[in-house]
Amino acid sequence: MNLFFTTNFPYLVDKNYSLTFKEQYDYIARKLTVTVGIETMRIAILSRNESLYSTRRLKEAGEARGHQVDIIDTLHCYMDITSNSPKVRYQGEDLPHYDAVIPRIGSSITFYGTAVVRQFEMMGTFAVNESVAISRSRDKLRSLQLLSRKGIGLPRTGFASKPDNIPDVIKNVGGAPVVIKLLEGTQGIGVVLAETNKAAESVIEAFMGLKANILVQEFIEEAKGADIRCFVVGNKVIAAMKRQAGEGEFRSNLHRGGTAQLVRLTKEERQTAINAAKVMGLNVCGVDILQSKNGPVVMEVNSSPGLEGIEKATEQDVAGMIFDFIEKNAKPNANKTKGKG
């Protein structure tokens, strides 16, 4: 066996045998499981679709290390809430004890999904992201309030319920152009750029007429349609990519046709992402940052960030590093939880 080095990690392979970066990482994981004595665990991934890239990669990474990894449809779980004997039921049976659960919960099922995660916490299962942190992050207004209180850089933001207050809200965030966001929107849906104060007032009034809750934010023009997605795992930024909006578009989401490339973070950007994750109480998250003239500002903290874009842009085994975190923090066969519920 020969020892080789890549930009990411050393690995052992037979001479002249070529491996992809993912195969290299999986090979090391299997070797460590055997030689270092990492205890294998039973791990559940809560996901509505087992064919999604993120779900598949997490399952592959866990199984490569010798863990038993089960994909469980969140909405097919149901709960037996019995004093001193909480259970999660699935397909007519009690689920076995899991050492860890990885929540991959879409925004449309936040309420039920976090209830399922909370039930696992009550059973002594280590949740990669706790239910209370997921709920906190899904409330955009609450997230901004918490980040603001801790001094995290943010775009100027306004929130109101009465149409009479709209002109003053627009004025307070610096005037047009402004970004108007639905609180319930995801992946760039429900986000509008209003070029004039009059246009902003019309859009806000229309949303309010539909009983929708909206945020009004200053437009960070100097970002030039780009943002930075920092992937945080266990108080470390383990990968980062710069996303650029397509021509004629200001939203940089990959789902909206944006492109992504590897980016080197400044010390301030890295620390901002770490601090934002800590404020939200998330162990694994994507922190979206804009580069403004006043320094980095946080746009969103995502508790269920996709793996495909970040792994392809950075060539990092993000799924494997999530399992590094689980192996370090989960306690196999635990019967108590630190989950706040």
Instruction: List binding-site positions for Mn(2+).
Output: 288, 300, 302
DSSP secondary structure code for residue 209 in this structure: H
Instruction: List binding-site positions.
Output: 181, 218-219, 227, 251-253, 288, 300, 302
Instruction: List binding-site positions for ATP.
Output: 181, 218-219, 227, 251-253
Integer Cα distance of 311 and 260 in angstroms:
11
**DSSP class per residue in 140-198:** HHHHHHHHHHTT-----EE--SSGGGHHHHHHHTTSSSEEEEETT--TTTTEEEESSHH
Integer Cα distance of 104 and 74 in angstroms:
9
Which amino acid would we find at residue 332? P
Helix (H) or strand (E) holding 27: helix 21-35
Would you call 318 helix, strand, or coil by DSSP?
Answer: helix
Instruction: List binding-site positions for Mg(2+).
Output: 288, 300, 302
Residues 156, 147 contacting (CB under 8 angstroms): no
